[in-house]
Copies of this chain bind each other. A is one copy, B any other.
Amino acid sequence: MTDIHHPLSAVRSNQVVIQGGYWGERQTTNCTRTIPAIYHQLKITNRTDAWHLHGGDADPRHDHQIVHKFWDSDLGKWLEAVGYSLDNHADPELERLADEVIATIEAGQLPDGYLNSYFTVVEPDQKWRNLRDWHELYDAGHLMEAANAYFQATGKRTLLDTLVRFADHIDARFGPGDHQRHGYCGHPEVELGLVKLYRATGERRYLNLAKYFVDERGQSPNFFDIEAAERGDDPTKFWAKSYHYCQAHAPLREQKTATGHAVRAAYLYAGAADIAAETGDQSLLETCRVLWDDLTSKQMYITGGLGPAHANEGFTFGYDLPNESAYAETCASIALVFWAKSMFDIDPDSRYTDVMERALYNGVMSGVSHEGSEFFYANPLASYPYVNPHEHFSGINSARYYRRSEWFVCPCCPPNLARVVANLGTYFTSHSADTIFLHLYNHSHIRIPLATGTVQLDQETHYPWAGDVQLTVRVEQPMPFKLALRIPDWCHHFSLRVNGQTTSADVQRGYALIDRVWSNGDRVELSLTMPVERIASHPNVRHNAGHIALQRGPIIYCLEEVDNGSNLANVIIPREAKLLGQTDSSLLGGVGVITGEGARVEPATWAGGLYQPQSKLQYTTQPISLKAIPYSLWANREPGEMRVWLREQ
């Protein structure tokens, strides 16, 4: 349909006005609750004034309980979220707060362009000494993304100019030249930031630097070995044991499996895809495809969660997807969304946008409470009273339930959620000169500038709770273009009508293509059959053997104790159980639920002890009414057990 030399165009968030429905409500909550709640936390933890704290003992950054070297990234992600939000809706008071923060950032910049609150104030002699662990380029990347978003929304150049000066500083210091450092950041992110800065300024040096960082990563001799030796550290005593952790064990183009810290991995891959888009680098695209296949076919939770292991916050090996101990960091699913969209725009195929949708509705949105001000860092797929080994190393005999928190010592996830929800419009659509791809369905008004004129689409739907989508095309005069509507992977039957006439659209790479001359007011009706599906895992996923998950449309459901009682492991979904998808208007503002027939299988009596011969037991199968709610909404009511994968019979 297109090739990498002509990547599709993304739209700005404000070209998609999301009107109510699932995402409209989420965007409103993001605006009114999440962004202010995060600002409050940034303020009370002194992040908003970080460049101007004096660095003495009174400086909270000296207490490692509450400081990390990447404070600036938290500020950056919040400013980026504010940028997108202002692009969607003016908010003078929010803009004033952001301008204040931006002024402190600008004032904190050193004359040579260097910018980092920790290394400017707390350890000024330690700049650039540990790229592996200390996140200066990671911070820079997030501030660049913020600068791009804020400039785009407000036209104000202060933050953009500040980051341009910092980017120039970085570009002078790092690169292939003899007098430059051949380094790159332990935590990928600056690659994404530099591409955005390139897009905002047109300065190709930034794109080249991003590509340099990707290409230099993992080369021999390894830069992290070199700088460790320079610091007087033993490179073999890297705390994370292996450079797999930061995807620097080999050059990226030689990597075949998603590995290490999941957020680092997905940021790197997303950055590589962006660079491939801008440079037409076919081999980099191939690398991304190989990693995409590995990750999505062997290492992705059904929720779009990534990274099963707490130990490395990341990947382990294929088909290793434990549920209760799943790490599945919110940020990793967000990074997957970035990557998916970038992949689609250079390799248009619903394999990417299906995953994007899966992650958005499930693994991303589980990261924030329905009310909008509490957050998950890890997103397990089953939950029981538990002992957090980090908080209660002693394993004391008191367990509690996993709940969302207002903030974290490392609060990367909350502002990441804020920016992805504020920028949601950009994930709705992509376009070439003559084709509009529609990825996400939600009540909305979309404006696309094609080569031959602007197209507006009015989208009416109750998606994701129902599968009917109505589109009205607004054009100034009749014009030909192709409308490509995603037929989601979960949908096995769909129908399409144009102006009331059934149309048998050609489905290419997951998109139903309608190629016609469109007139103003043309009406498209897409009907996606949305039954309750019982989903099985690949037979190599040992954790889910004998279990199914319930899915309806793009939504993965779960059982919670509050609806279904405790000991959910004893609840069975019979093979022939009738399961009904419907909307429960009384639940959390009105959401889809699945109700149906289940059974609770337990011994009628238990003689005592932990183990009994089955020959002495009489099992009873008690029919029960099940109620499953969207996974992303768990832990919004009374604490209790939760399960996504349910025993079947």
Contact = CB atoms under 8 A, between A and B. Distances in A.
Contact of A546 (B318, B390, B537, B647): B647
Nearest to A395: B312
Nearest to A388: B311
Contacts of A300: 610
A244 interface: yes
Contacts of A44: none
A589 interface: no
Taken together, the copies of this chain in the complex come to 2
A389 B536 contact: no
A228 to B, nearest CB: 16
A396 interface: yes
A398 B614 contact: no
B534 A397 contact: no
A24 B64 CA distance: 57
A569 B548 contact: no
Contact of A396 (B259, B296, B541): B259
B614 A548 contact: yes
Contact of A245 (B245, B319, B394): B394
A387 interface: yes
A312 B538 CA distance: 34
Contacts of A321: 610
A201 interface: no
Interface string A589-622: 0000000000001110010111111111100000
Given A396-B244, A399-B317, A534 B615 contact: yes
A395 B240 CA distance: 9
Given A312-B389, A312-B394, A533-B615, A542 B384 contact: yes
B399 A316 contact: yes
Contacts of A296: 609-610
Given A387-B316, A546-B546, A610 B538 contact: yes
A263 to B, nearest CB: 13
Contacts of A545: 567, 569-570, 647
A22 to B, nearest CB: 22
A571 to B, nearest CB: 9
A568 to B, nearest CB: 8
A395 B567 contact: no
Nearest to A647: B546
Contacts of A601: 546
A385 interface: yes
Given A533-B615, A546-B546, A614-B548, A538 B397 contact: no
Which of A258, A395, A647 lies at the interface centre, i.e. has the most chain B CB atoms within 10 A of its CB?
A: A395
A391 B310 CA distance: 14
Nearest to A549: B611
A601 B614 CA distance: 22
Given A244-B394, A394-B243, A545-B647, A533 B317 contact: no
Which of A386, A539, A543, A612 lies at the interface centre, i.e. has the most chain B CB atoms within 10 A of its CB?
A: A539
A96 interface: no
Contacts of A533: 613-615
Nearest to A351: B609
Given A249-B396, A260-B394, A317-B399, 15 more contacts: A260-B396, A302-B610, A312-B394, A312-B395, A316-B387, A534-B614, A535-B613, A536-B614, A538-B611, A539-B570, A540-B567, A542-B567, A546-B546, A546-B647, A551-B613
14 contacts: A241-B394, A244-B394, A245-B394, A259-B394, A309-B387, A312-B393, A319-B610, A490-B613, A534-B615, A537-B611, A539-B567, A539-B602, A542-B568, A546-B601
Interface of A: 239-245, 249, 257-260, 296-298, 300, 302, 307, 309-312, 314-322, 324-325, 384-387, 389-399, 490, 492, 533-543, 545-546, 548-549, 551, 567-570, 601-603, 606, 608-617, 647
